[in-house]
Chains A and B, each alone.
Chain A
Amino acid sequence: MESVAQNIIPSKSATGIEPVIEILHLQKAFGSNVVLRDFNLSIYPGENIVVMGKSGIGKTILIKCIIGLVKPDGGTMRVFGQDISKLDHRELDELRMRIGFVFQSSALYDSMTVRQNLEFPLRRHRRKKISGNIEDLVREALKNVGLENAIDLMPSELSGGMRKRIGIARSLILNPEIVLYDEPTTGLDPITSEEITRLIMELQQKYKTTSIIITHDVDLAKETANRIVFLSDGIAYLQGAYDELIKKDDPLIKQFFKK
């Protein structure tokens, strides 16, 4: 039985390219519950990373640390070369314009229509020079996710799959360089999950984004990941391409892929 944890401390890639996200010795605990113990990971431009692991192991906390929604207890986190912990509010806002976040629950604003939901990030990030008018950008974002007709609907009138699509459209409307997906197919039927997977791949190819996808969905991981990282016991336990990982004799990996 092979069970070798690979908590590799990252560095420059073999080609000398700087990582867009560099996480070193990340630590986060909630009281006595240590979620991230010593997490290390480097993500390079254009990579699609899938993070897998048991529920409650700290995957969502990891991406919330990357975007500055959760403050880590220790370690260093560099995004586009900037240390997240040293940024003030304004600098963090500037950085967030370059990162899209797709929430597990879609997090659409209940009191706003789909149009207003999509307009919100455009209107709020005032300092960003937006090319084209807001109406055109909203329509293009909806066209990308195939929901042009939903523009004037309220979130309560949308199905689960539609909400996910609108959530993706909202996170991509500012043309981010990095997109963080938090369980994009959770709670969806297999057909809709497949549609969302296809949509994520299409958008990644179209916008050339770097992605981190948190998921339990093996099919999604198989389709989208350049590299799969297993989070266990607060560290990057094992990582590699899907084809490499399924050959591993590790019990945790076997459990995940036994389907």
Chain B
Amino acid sequence: MAAELNKRKTLFSKGLDSFFEGCAELAGFTAQVFKEGIKPPYEFREILSQCYEIGIKSFILVGVTAFILGLVLVMQSRPTMVEFGAGSFLPAMSSISIVREIGPLVTALICAGKIGSGISAELGSMKVTEQIDAMEVSGTNPFKYLVATRITATTLMIPILTVYADCISLMGAFTGSNIKDQVNIHFFFNRVFEALAYKDIVPSFTKTFFFGFAIGLVGCTKGYNSKKGTEGVGKAANASVVIAMLSVIVIDMVVTQISSMLGYL
């Protein structure tokens, strides 16, 4: 019994150690990102290239997912709302849900999976095959060229992808409304924009920058620090997805709480 308890304690303390080591690793990496990223020269060409790789190449996946989510949201909410005589509130309900929560969160979660794991696997395999060392001996600061550019790109592109996802999702909601009823597009979008206020848009748009930063940071940290070997690269990619998704949800919770305290909710 005592041996079992000790074993559990050891497992618990190992888990705790690993958690704090992970936090320290992320904090150290963040400090280095700011230190290296702020100093000129800036890698504008590489940032643009990463924006294309990270942002433009995610448009189809984010678009399809957002459209389906908007459509499903309206189709599932409609029967209950109609039952309570609130069918005319469907555009307002869908716009607030999509802009405040569904658009930013779903975009960030998709990107945490697609982009976070991609960055982590790419940097991990570059490290294993000595490409990062080769870059360093070629007069390039790999931290600046590979890490700072990717984090900048995710921080800039996730907000853009979110705005795009919101628009597509609202189109999905409009399509969903038209499956059972005949709703005029002007009427639908008038109601959508009437329902949206400054306080709905600002916090939800602001948090997407933090989502983007967290996804880039976690992907780069795990990839850049991955242990040697292909197994290490796989583990880094896996850990990056899990931690990035968890970070997005924690940031979402914190921003919601702060928004509430500032009177935005």
Contact = CB atoms under 8 A, between A and B. Distances in A.
A93 B142 CA distance: 12
A125 B41 CA distance: 13
B142 to A, nearest CB: 11
A105 B129 contact: yes
Dominant secondary structure at the A interface:
loop
B140 interface: yes
B137 A104 contact: no
A39 interface: no
Interface of A: 64, 67, 69, 89, 93, 96-97, 99, 101, 103-105, 107-110, 120-121, 124-126, 170
Interface in B117-143: 125-126, 129-131, 133-141
Contacts of A105: 129-130
Interface string B26-40: 000000000000000
B134 A96 contact: no
Given A104-B130, A105-B129, A107-B131, A124 B138 contact: yes
A108 B139 CA distance: 15
A96 B130 contact: no
A121 B133 contact: no
A110 B135 CA distance: 12
A215 B58 CA distance: 45
A124 B138 CA distance: 7
B153 to A, nearest CB: 15
A96 B126 CA distance: 20
3 closest A-B pairs (Cβ-Cβ)?
A: A107-B134, A107-B130, A121-B138
B139 A96 contact: yes
A103 B133 contact: yes
A35 to B, nearest CB: 16
27 contacts: A64-B133, A67-B137, A69-B133, A69-B137, A89-B141, A96-B137, A96-B139, A97-B139, A101-B134, A103-B130, A103-B133, A103-B134, A104-B130, A105-B130, A107-B133, A108-B131, A108-B134, A109-B134, A109-B135, A110-B126, A110-B129, A121-B139, A124-B138, A124-B140, A125-B138, A126-B139, A170-B134
B131 A99 contact: no
A129 to B, nearest CB: 14
Nearest to A101: B137
A36 B15 CA distance: 35
A64 B133 CA distance: 9
Contacts of B129: 105, 107, 110
A69 B138 contact: no
